[in-house]
């Protein structure tokens, strides 16, 4: 029952008069200044606090002094701590300990579960340093000139590998530009790799649930055209994604033994997955075909979900325009390249609402219809179909089919400089004014983090 | 100005608390933690100040070494060392104090005294902190000697200012009350002549019964609940300020105030209606009690509180006389 002075004025009046007149005004046995100050700072032990409160409850003089302390506190300037330990003590208040401890635990977890980094990073991987673990292994076949030849030396094998390796070479100007201008292979940050490693099962499952077509292109095998024909780019097939993936995996293991040694078969992968992940995967299969399912069950409770949001936001604030499984590159011409964790798919963003898409690893680009004319500054593509884009004046766009873009509600009028999306419902944006906004309903509503 | 005194304590040569002496390793740790060397305070001086604080806190008792160590480790040692350095008159300590705490002192004085010459309040404290008020042949006594490290130095300084201000206000109130009393006696008008006798002859009796019942239930109230009520009704603090004092969120304060008031009212009504009690009022009469209370409250409860354990019985007996 909240206190409302107007609800019982008779009692208020009676109480006020009674309390005023029942107080001891003699000042007898009053607390010293040290006690008053320690009480105000909540430094007294519990028993001593209770003892003094008994006195304070009947002593007008002590109450008046405490009232003065309470009234004047807000008017005071901050006192610089006497020494460094004091400043650190102030820093390490409970308000900071919990999130810092959470971050430390997350880093420790990442260190414990991260996979071994590859010894060489091929050029095509350098373009998208944030590929998922599986795609990294897929693309991890070393260039023929540099690595040991595969055990099978069939021409088809070599051609397949060569084609893979030629994905981002000079023939593909956009991606080659990206290569030329791309920074050296970025060592994955804990946030990204944690998301990578932890989310890989979810990503795969999410892809299987949401994928219908071209993002399932993997290696170009001995029969690349057949592979392409099986899942033509830009065509919404209705093949069973898991079946296609498993078929592709089997082919890879047969034709690229060297790669196969680096890559687990689905069965091996499932066997070696932790029981928790297996259970999660089994659960995911029963979830609706919705990209949000991975998000909802990937985090088991609201607290962990909030933690992950915090980490994504922290990554954004650190200037990392990426989250776990996506890549964003700023090109020399000012345009921005957004890569999902799917081979050959990319979006290119630019001024005045420019959005272009490539599904052939940058060979060709198709302009897509953009609902805005604002400059687009960054993007995040958690899958080959779902992409979020942000730009000036609070612009937020989203596609859930990879083709059609819609403008979603804007969290702010400031320029939005980066975004990190988990799926089609959940994203975190960083505004130019340093504020971070989170949505979990596809951008219908945002909350300031 | 009057000599610096603090009730129950002395700044010079206090008695030993059970003969406790700090073990050297503990003193070294505390000295290092306090970083007392910055203020040109040697370990001997620091130890003496710690001893003084211990003696003050445990006076009249015989603490164990563990209790003393626990107490020492709970102190704000850096502030304590700074205060000790200032009390010794060491220049680095004073430079730091002037730079960091003087603004606090003057801001607090402004907030406390308002527009009425805050600098006078702050300057008087400042002088006592330095220890200018000395008699002939007596050593300088700094007000810092009374800081024992149990709170932050800034809070302690504000408590000093608050105490000075409150004592001054109370003194002026007593003077005004006396003057008013003299004036009213001279004019023949009672001090609280606001209410006019109502037609109901029972009004005075109802108010007295209500007064007695409320006094009884307030006396039985938990001290913290009573303190919350006093802060709200008597000191006129906001919910946030009350929360700051009692260590609760203002929403919690609001909720507890409302619940306490509601509980008090129920208890008072029950007491007034109690057929076994001395009042035995009907429901309508109980409501009248509160109605009259809302209109007026001319009584002085102090005399009622000094009466016996059963205020209601006493009130009834006084009626019969």
Cross-chain residue pair B165–A68, CB shorter than 8 Å: yes
With beta carbons under 8 A apart, name residues in chain B contacting A6: none
Q: Establish how many alpha carbons lie within 13 A of residue A323's alpha carbon, considering only the half-sphere containing its beta carbon.
A: 33
Cross-chain residue pair B78–A30, CB shorter than 8 Å: no
Cross-chain residue pair A10–B9, CB shorter than 8 Å: no
With beta carbons under 8 A apart, name residues in chain A contacting B54: none
* CB proximity B214 to A under 8 Å: yes
Cross-chain residue pair A65–B247, CB shorter than 8 Å: no
Q: How far apart are CA B87 and CA B90, in angstroms?
A: 8
Any idea what the Cα angle at residue A88 is, between residues A86 and A90, rounded to 5°? 70
Whole-model pTM: value is: 0.48
**pLDDT by position in tens, chain B (length 321):** 333 444 444 443 333 445 566 788 899 999 999 999 999 999 999 999 999 999 999 888 888 888 899 999 999 999 999 999 999 989 999 999 999 998 888 888 888 877 666 777 788 788 888 876 555 566 667 899 999 999 999 999 999 999 988 988 888 876 665 555 555 444 444 444 445 555 677 888 888 889 889 999 999 999 999 999 999 999 999 999 999 999 999 999 999 999 999 999 999 999 999 888 877 888 888 888 888 887 765 444 444 334 333 333 344 444 444
Q: Out of A11, A38, A76, name the one closest to residue B151 (CB).
A: A38
User: Which tokens hold the place of A31?
Assistant: 């607390």
Residue to test with chain B: of A68, A81, A90, most B Cβ within 10 A: A68
Measured between alpha carbons, how far is residue B92 from residues A71, B41, B151, B202 in Å? 32, 10, 22, 72
Q: Which pLDDT does position B153 carry in this prediction?
A: 95
Q: Are A81 and A73 spatial neighbours (Cβ–Cβ below 8 Å)?
A: no
Residues A331-357: b if buried by 16+ CB within 10 A, e if exposed: beeebbbbbbbbbbbbbbbbeebbbbb
* CB proximity B291 to A under 8 Å: yes
Cross-chain residue pair B233–A63, CB shorter than 8 Å: no
Q: Establish how many alpha carbons lie within 13 A of residue B29's alpha carbon, considering only the half-sphere containing its beta carbon.
A: 9
How does the average pLDDT of chain B come out, rounded?
79
Contacting A residues, span 269-328, partner chain B, CB-CB under 8 Å: none
Question: Which DSSP state fits B231?
Answer: I
Question: Which DSSP state fits A400?
Answer: S
Neighbours of A51 (CB within 10 A): 13
| Interface contacts (A, B; CB < 8 Å) | 225
List pLDDT tens digits, range A54-92. 999 999 999 999 999 998 887 676 666 555 444 455 555
Measured between alpha carbons, how far is residue A102 from residues A107, A304, A339, B105 in Å? 9, 10, 30, 39
ipTM of the complex: 0.79
Q: How far apart are CA A123 and CA A140, in angstroms?
A: 10
Cross-chain residue pair A53–B223, CB shorter than 8 Å: yes
Q: Are B86 and B144 spatial neighbours (Cβ–Cβ below 8 Å)?
A: yes
With beta carbons under 8 A apart, name residues in chain B contacting A22: 215, 218, 301-302, 305
Q: Out of A2, A17, A18, name the one closest to residue B258 (CB).
A: A2
Counting DSSP H helices and E strands in chain A, the numbers are 18, 13
């Amino acid at each position: 029952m909240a206190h409302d002075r107007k609800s019982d004025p008779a009692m208020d009046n009676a109480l006020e008069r009674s309390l005023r007149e029942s107080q001891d005004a003699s000042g007898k046995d009053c607390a010293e200044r040290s006690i008053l100050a320690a009480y105000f700072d909540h430094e007294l032990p519990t028993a001593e606090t209770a003892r003094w409160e008994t006195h304070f409850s009947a002593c007008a003089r002590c109450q008046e002094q405490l009232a003065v302390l309470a009234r004047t506190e807000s008017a005071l300037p901050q006192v610089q701590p006497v020494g460094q330990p004091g400043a650190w003590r102030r820093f390490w208040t409970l308000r900071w300990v919990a999130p810092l401890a959470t971050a430390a635990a997350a880093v420790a977890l990442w260190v414990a579960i991260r996979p071994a980094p590859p010894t060489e990073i091929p050029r095509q991987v350098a373009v998208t340093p944030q590929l998922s673990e599986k795609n990294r292994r897929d693309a991890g076949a070393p260039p023929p000139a540099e690595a040991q030849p595969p055990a099978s030396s069939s021409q088809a094998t070599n051609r397949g590998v060569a084609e893979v390796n030629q994905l981002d070479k000079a023939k593909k100007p956009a991606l080659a530009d990206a290569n030329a201008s791309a920074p050296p292979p970025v060592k994955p940050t804990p946030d990204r790799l944690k998301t990578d490693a932890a989310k890989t099962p979810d990503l795969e499952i999410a892809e299987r649930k949401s994928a219908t077509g071209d993002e399932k292109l993997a290696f170009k095998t001995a029969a690349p055209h057949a592979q392409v024909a099986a899942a033509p780019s830009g065509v919404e097939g209705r093949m069973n994604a898991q079946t296609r993936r498993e078929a592709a995996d089997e082919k890879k293991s047969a034709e690229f033994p060297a790669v196969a040694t680096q890559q687990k078969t689905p069965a091996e992968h499932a066997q070696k997955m932790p029981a928790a992940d297996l259970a999660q995967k089994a659960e995911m299969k029963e979830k609706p075909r919705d990209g949000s399912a991975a998000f909802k069950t990937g985090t088991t409770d609201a607290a962990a979900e909030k933690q992950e949001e915090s980490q994504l936001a922290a990554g954004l604030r650190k200037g990392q325009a990426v989250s776990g499984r996506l890549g964003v590159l700023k090109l020399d011409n000012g345009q921005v390249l957004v890569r999902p964790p799917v081979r050959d798919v990319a979006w290119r963003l630019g001024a005045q609402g420019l959005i272009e898409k490539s599904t052939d690893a940058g060979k060709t680009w198709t302009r897509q219809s953009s609902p805005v004319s604002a400059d687009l500054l960054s993007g995040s593509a958690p899958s080959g179909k779902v992409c979020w884009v942000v730009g000036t004046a609070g612009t937020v766009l989203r596609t859930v089919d990879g083709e059609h873009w819609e403008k979603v509600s804007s969290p702010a009028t400031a320029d939005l400089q980066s975004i990190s999306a988990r799926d089609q419902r959940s994203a975190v944006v960083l505004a130019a004014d340093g504020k971070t906004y989170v949505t979990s309903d596809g951008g219908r509503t945002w909350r300031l983090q | 100005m009057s000599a610096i005194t603090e009730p129950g304590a002395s700044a010079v040569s206090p008695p030993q608390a059970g003969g406790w002496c700090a073990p050297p390793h503990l003193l070294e740790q505390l000295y290092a933690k306090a970083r007392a060397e910055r203020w040109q305070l040697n370990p001997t001086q620091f130890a003496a100040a710690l001893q003084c604080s211990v003696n003050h806190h445990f006076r009249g008792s015989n603490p164990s070494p563990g209790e003393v160590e626990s107490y020492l480790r709970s102190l704000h040692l850096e502030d304590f060392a700074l205060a000790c350095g200032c009390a010794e008159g060491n220049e680095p300590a004073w430079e730091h104090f002037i730079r960091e705490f003087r603004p606090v002192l003057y801001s607090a004085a402004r907030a406390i005294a308002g527009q009425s010459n805050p600098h006078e309040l702050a300057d008087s404290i400042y002088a006592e902190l330095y220890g200018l008020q000395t008699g002939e042949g007596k050593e300088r006594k700094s007000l810092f000697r009374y800081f024992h490290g149990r709170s932050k130095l800034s809070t302690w300084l504000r408590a000093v200012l608050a105490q000075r201000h409150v004592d001054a206000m109370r003194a002026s109130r007593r003077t005004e009350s006396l003057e008013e009393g003299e004036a009213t006696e001279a004019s023949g008008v009672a001090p609280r002549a606001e209410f006019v006798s109502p037609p109901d002859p029972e009004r005075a009796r109802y108010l007295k019964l209500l007064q007695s019942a409320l006094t009884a239930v307030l006396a039985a109230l938990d001290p913290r609940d009573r303190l919350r009520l006093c802060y709200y009704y008597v000191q006129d603090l906001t919910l946030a300020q009350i929360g700051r004092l009692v260590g609760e969120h203002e929403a919690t304060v609001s909720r507890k105030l409302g619940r306490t008031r509601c509980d008090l009212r129920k208890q008072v009504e029950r007491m007034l209606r109690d057929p076994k009690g001395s009042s035995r009022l009907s429901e309508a009469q109980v409501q009248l009690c509160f109605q009259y209370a809302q209109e007026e409250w001319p009584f002085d409860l102090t005399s009622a509180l000094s009466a016996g354990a059963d205020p209601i019985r006493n009130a009834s007996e006084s009626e019969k006389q």
